[in-house]
Structure 1
Amino acid sequence: MDVEASHESPPLRSKTMRRLLVATNCVMLALGVTGGQLLSRLYFSKGGHRQWLSGWLQTGGWPLLLPPVAASYVRRRARYRSAPALLTQTQPRILLAAAGLGLIAGVDNLLYAWGLEFLPVSTSAILISTQLAFTVLFAFLIVRQRLTMATVNAVALLTVGAVVLGLHVSSDRPAGVTRSQYWLGFTLTLGAAVLYGLFLPLVELTYKCAAGGGRAVTYALVVELQLVMGFVATAFCTVGMIVNKDFQAIPREARQYELGEARYYMVLAWAAVLWQCFFLGAVGVIFCVHTLLAGILIAVFIPVTEVAAVIFLHEKFSSEKGVALALSLWGLASYSYGEWSQAKAKKEKKSEEDDGEVAQAVP
């Protein structure tokens, strides 16, 4: 990874490298959104009760980014010994924006973790998919993302799917969860979806502001900003853990965990790793393509999460979830077809323009 001045080299040197980077970030996002949700629910279903701790785990893996960021700095230092100014790639206002995004992420993590305590993974996953609707709305307002009929159709279908789940709250409540607790979880998870729908376009806006400052927005810069966001979000949850006395409760909770003390700590560690993959994958997809693709991919992996929850956590797959899942897939198919049609139309138009220029050039 290397962050360079905009006149030195383009952020992505070739189509092959770009495709590899896109694929890598998509894989990280897929692993994170599926595995992270499963492990977070496993934590609660087997005896965990600490919402602040669960929220902390979603960004607590930020130190994993320190080695690549340090390597990037060392590489820049060796390259720009005669120009120390180039070592400082991130402007103070961009760092401040990243810190603000980290605070939003911390609040979002808490809302999601709190909601997941009262919801099965399959229901939570479909509710989180509604973030696509909010992502579309905020992307339109914040980064002027163009809306199409396919996008609007997808948003409508995903919203209806969430409403279907809300009308049948008694069919999938986990054991020991009251109706009011279920509704609380439902509301908190929807709140997390709204907040994350705002978070994604703000990340893209931050990249645009960084590019407007005269520096190249490269993947190394993306990782640096994610490190700042992860640190601030984790610090926010750490304060909550201290106030809630979670650190004192962890050893006791580990001893009482249904899967055993060793597996308790293993669940926590892998949850932190997988959630870090999710966040880095999401911001990476935004950098490589755009905000909407990140939101869509999060929704795309709902079927995987649904099936995995049924297989590994033995959750029920009710008819209501089936209807909501079908509506989600229909919405995603609609959006994908719309994007494909647009890309095809642009390609044909460009080909016609090129042919016209060639015809005019011939005497």
Structure 2
Amino acid sequence: MHRLLVALNCGMLILGTTGGPLLSRLYFSKGGHRQWLAAWLETGGWPLLLIPVVASYLTRRSRDPSAPLLLTRPRWILLAAAALGVATGADDFLYAYGLSYVPVSTSAILISTQLAFTVLFAFLIVRQRLTAFSLNAVALITIGAVVLGLHASSDRPAGVTKGQYWMGFFLSLGAAALYGLVLPLVELTYKRAASGGRVLTYALVVEMQLVMGFFATAFCTVGMIVNNDFQAIAREGRAFELGEARYYTVLVWSSIFWQFFFLGAVGVIFCVHTLLTGILIAAFIPVTEMLGVLLLHEKFSSDKGVALVLSLWGLASYSYGEYADARAKKKKAALWEAQAS
């Protein structure tokens, strides 16, 4: 069951990492102009989580009629999830605003720096152990991002001023830093929730993500109201280059893919740890680059090919390190069992 959960959440994270940014950039490149709306879509799919949460709740109630939602015991978990949700909503806006002025390739480059922030904050907040393999993976993926960064200044989209481009550049970098902080804080919440003999379950993880998504969406809803985005949706849909029907299709699928991303991210943290989440996000950024070339007709350079190789090499290094560590622990456990007998 643990391996199934790891595979499921890694798959959702990979789908969200590649599909979410592409659909968000497609929205902006074909006539969308509402940053708050794009940010809202990143967590607006949170009602989808009501299905597994309600199913889990009804299952518990069938065994214990007085069983409450897991988040209400203790109450601080609910408050922590709400605070993390507001931080996620702020990160959504930074990311969406940055993506509105830079191509998805440049945005992906900048978001890859989130790995460095994740490693730093994971070490400081949850004391994540760093091995030679994980450090090697971080180094390789970071070098890949630097290689990609060499061509970042030459891909300013048409109609975007130099000032807007650099605003998007730094906002994307800020989004990477903020999410690099949110991920270890999520893991810290899990650790505190599991203290005192409490069993941390995947059901609690999904409930936490639902609450985080709700508050992140509420944060962005306030921005949409202030910016009059709700009134502009119908008008923007009629003017969308791909047609009104495809406009709403892009919005719906964008919210679904981003929900995959966020649920996959917290699920990987629950099943493994924060660092693997950062590794996967960074490792599949070159895949987003290639999809941007194929689907959005962005330029493909030798820099992107080199970055792809380095990122896959980094992921392979990390995977081998985890395999070697698990094998060593298994041998050690077998040795202790043999000595005990």
**TM-score between the two structures when normalised by the length of structure 2:** 0.93
Aligned equivalent of 1:44: 28
Residue among 64, 81, 87 paired with 2:68: 87
Aligned AA (1:108): D
Aligned equivalent of 2:241: 258
Aligned equivalent of 1:147: 130
Is residue 2:62 matched to residue 1:58?
Answer: no
Give the deviation of 1:167 after TM superposition.
4.3
Is residue 2:113 matched to residue 1:130?
Answer: yes
Aligned equivalent of 1:272: 255
Give the deviation of 1:159 after TM superposition.
3.2
Equivalents in 2 of 1:296, 1:70: separation in Å? 32
Distance 1:130 1:332, change over 3 A: farther
Give the deviation of 1:351 after TM superposition.
4.2
Give the deviation of 1:300 after TM superposition.
2.4
SS at match of 1:41: helix
Give the deviation of 1:126 after TM superposition.
2.8
Is residue 2:266 matched to residue 1:292?
Answer: no
For 1:100-139, what per-residue CA distance to the aligned partner results, in whole angstroms no more than 9, with x for missing partners? 1101100111111111112222222232122111111111
Residue among 51, 73, 81 paired with 1:67: 51
Is residue 2:296 matched to residue 1:313?
Answer: yes
Equivalents in 1 of 2:196, 2:42: separation in Å? 31
Equivalents in 2 of 1:260, 1:297: separation in Å? 34
For 1:171-196, what per-residue CA distance to the aligned partner results, in whole angstroms no more than 9, with x for missing partners? 22222223332222221111111111
Structure with bigger helix share is 2
Does structure 1 conserve the Cα–Cα contact (< 8 Å) formed by 2:70 and 2:204?
yes
Equivalents in 1 of 2:149, 2:130: separation in Å? 27
Aligned AA (2:30): K
Does structure 1 conserve the Cα–Cα contact (< 8 Å) formed by 2:106 and 2:152?
no
For 1:57-90, what per-residue CA distance to the aligned partner results, in whole angstroms no more than 9, with x for missing partners? 0000011111221222222222113xx2x42422
* Unaligned segments of structure 2, at least 5 residues: none
Equivalents in 2 of 1:112, 1:43: separation in Å? 14
Give the deviation of 1:162 after TM superposition.
3.4
For 1:322-353, what per-residue CA distance to the aligned partner results, in whole angstroms no more than 9, with x for missing partners? 34444433433333333333333333444444
Distance 1:194 1:216, change over 3 A: same
Identity over aligned pairs, percent:
73
Aligned AA (2:243): G
Alignment coverage as a number of residue pairs:
339
**TM-score between the two structures when normalised by the length of structure 1:** 0.87
Aligned equivalent of 1:30: 14
Does structure 2 conserve the Cα–Cα contact (< 8 Å) formed by 1:126 and 1:324?
no
Aligned AA (2:281): I
Superposition pairs for residues 156-171 of structure 1, below 5 Å? 156-171=139-154
Is residue 2:172 matched to residue 1:189?
Answer: yes
Does structure 2 conserve the Cα–Cα contact (< 8 Å) formed by 1:89 and 1:215?
no
Does structure 2 conserve the Cα–Cα contact (< 8 Å) formed by 1:80 and 1:87?
no
Equivalents in 2 of 1:348, 1:266: separation in Å? 52
Does structure 2 conserve the Cα–Cα contact (< 8 Å) formed by 1:129 and 1:298?
yes
For 1:285-336, what per-residue CA distance to the aligned partner results, in whole angstroms no more than 9, with x for missing partners? 1111111111111122223212211111111112333344444334333333
Does structure 1 conserve the Cα–Cα contact (< 8 Å) formed by 2:286 and 2:311?
no
Distance 1:69 1:341, change over 3 A: closer
Superposition pairs for residues 90-239 of structure 1, below 5 Å? 90=71, 91-239=74-222
Give the deviation of 1:214 after TM superposition.
4.4
Equivalents in 2 of 1:213, 1:343: separation in Å? 27
Judge which range, 100-109 or 304-313, deviates more.
304-313
Distance 1:180 1:145, change over 3 A: same
Give the deviation of 1:216 after TM superposition.
2.0
Does structure 2 conserve the Cα–Cα contact (< 8 Å) formed by 1:165 and 1:320?
yes
Does structure 1 conserve the Cα–Cα contact (< 8 Å) formed by 2:287 and 2:308?
no
What's the C-alpha RMSD, in Å, of the aligned pairs? 1.9
Aligned AA (2:25): R
Equivalents in 2 of 1:170, 1:306: separation in Å? 16
Distance 1:248 1:137, change over 3 A: same
Superposition pairs for residues 281-360 of structure 1, below 5 Å? 281-355=264-338, 357=339
Judge which range, 291-300 or 106-115, deviates more.
291-300
Q: Which structure has the greater CA radius of gyration? A: 1
Judge which range, 53-62 or 111-120, deviates more.
111-120
Equivalents in 2 of 1:164, 1:306: separation in Å? 13
